[in-house]
Structure 1
Amino acid sequence: MNKEFLNQIIRERRAIFPSQYNDKPVSKEFIKILLENANWAPTHRLTEPWRFKVIQGEAKDRLGTFLSDTYTDITPEESFSPFKHKKIKDKCTAASSIIVICMQRDPKERVPEWEEIAATAMAVQNMWLTCTANEVGCYWSSPALIKYMNEFFEFEEGERCLGFLYLGNYNKDKTLNSKRNSIEEKVEWHD
């Protein structure tokens, strides 16, 4: 394994937003690789809590309509933003595919819920790093609207939505910047 390549991929991982995507579709074969890599995330007591729903084609339009209509329904008139309403729909349209990120709570509750949420987040990180290594854009969004997703999908008992992973190809000619404060500001060493 090339350790430097792994370090580079981790440090180059960025949120690439749907507005930055081009019209080239992300292949179903690549999405299958993403999902398989997600499946290898760490999981305490092997609960494997991650669940995914892949949204493509006309289903993206249905999701965009549902989310924008829900936004309209739950937003007081004085707080309603036509810009936000349009942006909700546009994100669904601009994405090549959307992976709905769900967490299935262990029915026996053998581990704390936060551990299952963390395991699901690690599965998403595996997908995000896979996207980075393959120069595919992705962005994890967890809008307040996710709490209404049980009106769009039939969830299993104990299953809930944690967000959406938007996927799309993008033009690589743009520099994607990010910064982090020094790790030394975040670590205490004890001997």
Structure 2
Amino acid sequence: MSIIGDVTRLIEARKAVFPALYIEKNIPTSIINKMLSNANRAPTHKLTEPWRFKVIRGDARARLGNFMSARYKKLYEGNGFSERKFNKLRENPQLADTVIAIIMQRDREERIPEWEEIAAVSMAVQNMWLTASAHGVGSYWSSPALISHLGDFFKLEEGQKCLGLFYMGYYEEEIPVSKRGPIEEKVEWLDK
């Protein structure tokens, strides 16, 4: 098999697998370390390497869920509060074997635009996602509405911003491959 064939199959196999589908099976630390190591190989303009990660396992998952649900209740009680959303925020971290907080560390000198730093972090997450897929680990990048409040939980440093939570777990259910429209509808060739 050619490497391009392997890469193409891996990209095509990558999909969102939600926490409700995870089974109770531990992800080996070696796989998580490989995911993080591969994330560290993402492209980065001016070598700012803006990605930072916080790995949440064990009892810390319940603390995260309790924090998110309590903050949600405080913000939305009496104004659009949803019991379903409250429960989902509390339970999802515990359904996952591992949750990784996706953090961007802004270049202190602001040598490049913030969007480039966000793009670099996104590419790092794509590397993690592909690595997880290669190991049969389901993953999902969640950006909850109260993402701006997660800095309190994670004790973020100056210039850091939480961009989401990366939920991970093994799963048994067959997940359909996500569909994409034809690339021809999204490309214009300028050759004259």
Q: Which runs of 5+ in 1 are unaligned?
A: none
Alignment of 1:1-191 (within 5 A): 2-171=3-172, 173-191=173-191
Deviation at 1:12, TM superposition (A): 1.2
- d(CA) in 2 for partners of 1:28, 1:90: 22
Unpaired stretches in structure 2, ≥5 consecutive residues: none
Provide the rounded CA distance (Å) in 2 between the counterparts of 1:72 and 1:162: 21
Q: d(CA) in 1 for partners of 2:36 and 2:143?
A: 19
Q: Distance in 1 between matches of 2:68 and 2:79?
A: 19
Could you tell me the TM-score, scaled by structure 2's length? 0.96
Q: What per-residue deviation string (whole Å, max 9, x for no partner) do you get for residues 126-166 of structure 1? A: 00011111110000001121100121122111011000000
Letter in 2 for 1:143: P
Preserved contact between residue 43 and residue 120 of structure 2 (Cα < 8 Å): yes
1:175 to partner: Cα distance:
3.8
In structure 2, distance between residues paired with 1:109 and 1:93: 37
For the residues of structure 2 that align with 1:90 and 1:149, how far apart are their CA atoms?
16
Partners of 2:12 and 2:177 within 8 A in 1:
no
**1:176 positional shift:** 2.0
Query: Matches of 2:37 and 2:22 in 1, distance apart?
Result: 23
RMSD of Structure 2 on Structure 1 (CA): 1.0
Q: Please, what TM-score do these two structures have when normalized by structure 1?
A: 0.96
Structure 1 residue 78, shift from structure 2 partner: 4.3
Q: CA separation in 1, counterparts of 2:183 and 2:136?
A: 26
SS class of match (1:161): strand
Residue by residue over 1:84-133, the C-alpha shift from the partner in whole angstroms, topping out at 9 and shown as x without a partner, is 11111111110000000000000011111000000000000000011111
Please state whether the residue corresponding to 2:103 is helix, strand or coil: strand
| Moved segments of 4+, more than 2 Å | none
